[in-house]
Structures are given as structure tokens and as C-alpha cells.
Amino acid sequence: MKLNIKSILKIALPLILGVFLVWYSLSQISIEELIKYFKKADYTYVILGMVLGLLSHFSRAYRWRFQLEPMGYNIRFGNSIMAVFATYLINYTIPRAGEVARASILTNYENVPFEKGIGTIVAERVADMVIMLSIIAITLMLEFDFIYGFLIEKFNPLKLIIAAVGGLVFLALIVWLINKSKSKFALKVKGFLSGLIEGVLSIFKMKKKWAFIGHTLFIWLMYLLMFYVTSFALPETRNLPIAALLIAFIAASFSIAATNGGIGSYPEAVVLAFTLFSIPEDPSRAFGWVMWASQTLAIIVFGGFSLIYLPIFNRKSQKTAI
């Protein structure tokens, strides 16, 4: 019973949060005003942003094959790319259900054991997390003066130092307690961290590790360019500072995990980031919606096509093999 309630909450809470944030966002800008921004948008940049997003998905599908080859599975690129698009589309309904569906597609059509498929997906998520943390670190270094000045302006410097030292001491204490503890929670945390490290190291043991790393960098470069290029779609966001775009990109990326596919949370994350740079809320919110809507449209079209065409593609492949 507890498990069922937990499962229901995992599905329901992101949906409820997403609906609330959509309501909140549209209460801050009228639909008529939002439509005006959509009408005056330069769709050359919007479409270019969509193309860059699609390139990242194709690269992700190709990268997946490098992980499966050492295990003896040479999967067809068609199945790989359609599984990736299906993942993104399904994640709009049930959080993380897409990853399960992605591994299941390989099991059904490529005879890859489910646990091995899931293992590769977890490993690639680790690689993506490393790149995301690297982007955050680079942003902090590049914009140190701005971030430092912002914190000094908003908070008392002495309190900041005390908070930073206190935070480090608290973190060190938590690490020490987890390391010493034998509780189920501590063992889970240690297992997660151990798996994280093992996942990163496994990339360097891969036969085509440099190709994998190259595709990983390409994927995130496309994500960044997608965000940057789409900012030219609206006159009000064409000349934004790189710092604003980087911080908004990071905030928006994390928002996707908060609700299904970033529904409602994506535009608001962009607004929160842009307001740090005194950028008006209406164009910021409109850009967030244009960005989210264009990428979501691409996922719906290609994800929907993938779900429909997958059985047809594999039926044709079986007939060709016979």
C-alpha cells in the first residue's frame, strides 16, 4: 500500500506542480500579450534552434551505440534514434518512464537485456551530469565578479562567510556520518556515489571512449547553441549578456527535472535568471515559452512518429533479414 501511494505521489506531484506553474505563469502575463510575442518572433531563429536540438538527439542516439558495442550488441541506428525520441515524449506523461521505455524498446527489437539497457542509460546520465557541473563551474569562474557582487549587494558579507564556512563544516560532518553509518539510507547514498564514480570511470574504459566523449561535448554544445540562437527570435532578448544566457540555461535545464518535460517550470526558471540582470519579466517569460514550446513541438512530432513507426520499421527489417 505504501509503495502504491509513493508511486502515485511520484507521478502526481510533478503534474500538479506543472499545472500550478502554468497557471502562475499565465497569471503574470496575459495570453493575448503572450500571443503578440509569438506573432512577432523571428521563426528563422526558432527553427534553427529546433534543428540544433534535433542534432543533439541524433548525436545522443549515435553515442548510445558506443556503450552497447563492447557488450556485443550492434543495434540499428533507426531503433536507437526512435527510442531516444520516444523517451523524451513519454517523460512528458510520467517522470522517468521514458528511460524504462527506452530500455524496453531495445529489449523488444534488438534483444538487449533490459538491465543492460538501463545500465547504459544510467552511465550516460552520469556523463551528462559531469558536463552540466562543468558548465556551472565555468559559469561561476567567468562570472565570478557579477555573482560575488550580487551576493555582496543582497547579503551581509560577514553572514555569507559564516554561512559558507558553516555549510562546508556541515557537509564534512554529513560525509563523515554517512561513511561511518551502517544504516540503509547511508548504504544507499554510498552505493549511489560509488556507482556514480564507477559510471564515470567506465567511460574511460570504453573501446571508443574518445568518440563517446566527443559526442557528449557535441550534445551539450548543441543545447547551449539552441538556447543562444533562439534568444535572437525576440527583439527584446537579442542582445542579452552571455552571463544571463548561461545562468538562464542552467536554471532551465534543472527545471526540466522539476516537472514533466519542464511544463510550467521552464519559462519561470528563465524569468528568475533574467531578472537578476534587470531584464523585464514579460519578454523573459515570452522567450521561455517560445523556447519551451518549440522544443516540445519537435519532441511531440518526432516522438509520436517514432512510437508509431517503430513496429513498422522492425517488421520491415525482419522481412529483409528473411
User: Does the residue 182 lie in any domain?
Assistant: no
Query: Is the model's pTM score more than 0.85?
Result: no
pLDDT at 1: 43
pLDDT at 154: 60
User: Does the residue 4 lie in any domain?
Assistant: no
* Under 8 Å between Cβ of 276 and 246: no
Please state the domain count of the chain.
Answer: 1
pLDDT at 322: 46
pLDDT at 194: 66
pLDDT at 159: 65
Q: Walk along the chain (322 residues) and give the pLDDT tens digit of each residue.
A: 445 676 666 667 777 888 888 898 988 998 999 999 999 999 999 999 999 999 999 999 999 988 888 778 888 999 999 999 999 999 888 777 888 888 899 889 988 888 888 888 888 888 888 899 999 888 888 776 766 666 666 656 666 577 667 777 877 887 777 777 777 777 776 666 665 565 556 666 677 888 888 999 999 999 999 999 999 999 999 989 888 899 999 999 988 888 888 899 999 999 999 988 889 999 999 999 999 999 999 999 999 999 999 999 888 766 555 4
User: Does the residue 11 lie in any domain?
Assistant: no
User: Does the residue 130 lie in any domain?
Assistant: yes
CA 277 – CA 303 distance, rounded (Å): 36
CA 198 – CA 279 distance, rounded (Å): 42
CA 171 – CA 173 distance, rounded (Å): 5
Domain of residue 236 covers: 41-151+208-321
User: Does the residue 297 lie in any domain?
Assistant: yes
CA 32 – CA 233 distance, rounded (Å): 18
Question: Torsions phi, psi of 71, nearest 5?
Answer: -90, 0
**SS3 at position 148:** helix
